[in-house]
């Protein structure tokens, strides 16, 4: 009997070590420790043994049971661990799924318009220039031929910064000061565009924002005429909007250009949208920057980028651009 129990223990341990799931384990539990198991049968047989053999047999039965019970516990622990791992595996969050489901963001439509404008002008041979958003009266006005007494100064609705002398430092009211900064630092020929933020005391309404964007253009070279300006604007409109959009000049006045014109483009409904101003750079402006107006001529233009975006996407209200409503922004 003892020999038989040793074999049972070896067999039980081997089968338990191989068990692949908890169900199999339950069956092995019944097979090796249940009522019909070798251990149970041996226990029942003890009574029939001669008295002097009972003790050894009893010890052997208990040792076998203990061995099998221990192996069973180890197998259960192993299998439960496996089940737990599988559960973790199954319930794991696939983060890439969330990432792919999330809609990627996109550039703001004013940024898109600005990028396209840069592309169009770079394609025509211009380079991109920049200037500060806080300016001095010299760059924002004086060098542009708008002295302190000049009535045009009031029309810019300037936002002043409390720094230095009164009305000496301001948020730039147009991108034209970048013309001055460029000419101060660079000899002609000059072909630049300067997009950027501009500020005025305007109250926001359907067609105005107090913080808006302009793009300035400046060309200084030999023998530049109004025809070059017209050709440049025409080419720009065609590239930016397509050939169905028309443009026109209206005579106008700006202190920094002579002659000056206002620049309109046609809307789909046949009306005209005022985009900005342009003209031949005033000789005083060239002289203010150390460029000889006898030898060099130039043209300049400046217009609103936000209005271009409004027109291009047929928005009803320019304020949509700054409301930051994602449902609106998502469409672009």
The site for ligand DAH (CB under 6 A) is made up of 174, 176, 216, 254, 256-257, 276-279, 300-302
Contact between 167 and 276 under an 8 Å Cβ cutoff? The reply is: no
Distance, in Å, from the CA atom of 141 to the CA atom of 170, rounded to the nearest integer, reads: 10
Q: How far is the CB of 303 from ligand DAH (least distance, A)?
A: 7
Q: Least separation, in Å, of the C-beta of 328 and ligand DAH?
A: 27
Q: Report, in Å, the least distance between residue 278 CB and ligand DAH.
A: 5
Sole residue written with tokens 């043994």? 49
Please, what is the angle between helix 22-33 and helix 38-46, to 10°? 20
Which residue's CB is nearer to ligand DAH, number 188 or number 276? 276
CA distance 198 to 114: 14
* Closer of 37 and 173 to ligand DAH (Cβ): 173
DSSP 49: S
Least Å distance between CB 220 and ligand DAH? Answer: 12
Alpha-helical (H) ranges within the chain are: 2-18, 22-33, 38-46, 51-91, 95-101, 109-123, 137-140, 152-155, 177-185, 226-241, 283-288, 305-312, 320-323, 326-329
Instruction: Give me the least distance between CB of 183 and ligand DAH, in Å please.
Output: 12
* Cβ-based nearer residue to ligand DAH, 60 or 216: 216
| Under 8 Å between Cβ of 24 and 12 | no
57 versus 233: smaller Cβ distance to ligand DAH: 233
Q: Is the Cβ of residue 57 or residue 146 nearer to ligand DAH in the bound state?
A: 146
Taking each continuous run of H as one helix and of E as one strand, the counts in the chain are: 14, 10
């Amino acid at each position: 009997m003892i020999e038989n129990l040793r074999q049972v223990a070896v067999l039980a341990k081997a089968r338990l070590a191989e068990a692949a799931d908890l169900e199999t384990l339950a069956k092995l539990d019944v097979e090796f420790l249940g009522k019909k198991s070798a251990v149970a049968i041996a226990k029942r047989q003890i009574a029939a043994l001669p008295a002097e053999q009972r003790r050894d047999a009893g010890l052997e039965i208990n040792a076998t049971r203990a061995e099998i019970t221990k192996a069973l516990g180890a197998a259960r622990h192993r299998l439960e661990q496996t089940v737990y791992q599988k559960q973790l595996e199954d319930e794991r969050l696939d983060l890439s799924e969330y990432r792919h489901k999330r809609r990627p963001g996109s550039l703001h439509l004013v940024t898109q318009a600005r990028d396209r404008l840069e592309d169009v002008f770079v394609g025509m041979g211009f380079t991109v220039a920049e200037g500060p958003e806080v300016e001095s009266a010299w760059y924002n006005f004086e060098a542009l031929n708008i002295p302190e007494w000049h009535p045009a100064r009031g029309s810019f609705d300037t936002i002043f910064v409390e720094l230095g002398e009164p009305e000496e430092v301001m948020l730039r009211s147009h991108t034209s000061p970048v013309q001055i900064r460029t000419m101060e630092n660079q000899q002609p020929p000059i072909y630049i565009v300067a997009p950027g933020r501009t500020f005025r005391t305007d109250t926001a309404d359907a067609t105005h924002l107090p913080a808006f964007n302009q793009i300035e253009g400046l060309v200084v070279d030999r023998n530049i005429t109004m025809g070059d300006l017209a050709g440049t604007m025409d080419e720009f409109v065609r590239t930016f909007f397509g050939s169905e959009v028309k443009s026109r000049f209206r005579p106008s006045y700006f202190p920094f250009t002579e002659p000056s014109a206002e620049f309109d483009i046609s809307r789909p409904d046949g009306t005209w949208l005022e985009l900005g101003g342009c003209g031949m750079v005033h000789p005083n402006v060239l002289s203010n920057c150390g460029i000889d107006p006898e030898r060099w001529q130039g043209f300049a233009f400046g217009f609103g980028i936000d209005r271009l975006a409004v027109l291009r996407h047929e928005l009803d209200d320019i304020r949509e651009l700054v409301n930051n409503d994602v449902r609106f922004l998502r469409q672009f």
